[in-house]
Amino acid sequence: MTPEGRIKGKVKIVLDKAFPSEYPCYYEMLSTHGYGKPGLDFTCCMFGRFVSIETKAPGEWLTPRQRLTALSILKSGGKVFIISGEEGLGALQRWVTSTGAQCLSFPSP
């Protein structure tokens, strides 16, 4: 498995196991192969929020196209995580925990 593949596996564990079954995280990993609108590695909906995650091998950074995609998501009010190691995984886990606690403590209208 590639270094990026190992990071993707760890992100999947966070997304699959961090949520109680009644509040699952929806995510998909699309591969456009050059067709259609570009996206990042993971497109997610968590607690009614749009989140996109790009995984990278340690030391790698976003391509120019990925930077434009991430900027577009941020400008639209979405959340973007760039994860290349334990620090990024920790940031994702902390965000999931704090956002989930806030969202689950208030009933939906």
* Domain locations in the chain as residue ranges: 3-97
Residue 83 predicted with pLDDT over 90: yes
How far is 85 from 72, CA to CA, in rounded Å?
Answer: 24
Residue 104 predicted with pLDDT over 60: no
Comparing 20 with 43, the larger pLDDT belongs to 43
CATH class of 3-97: alpha beta
How far is 109 from 97, CA to CA, in rounded Å?
Answer: 22
**What confidence score (pLDDT) does residue 25 get?**
82
68 confidence band (pLDDT: 50, 70, 90): very high
Which helix (H) or strand (E) element contains residue 50?
Answer: strand 49-55
In percent, the amount of the chain with pLDDT more than 70 equals: 84
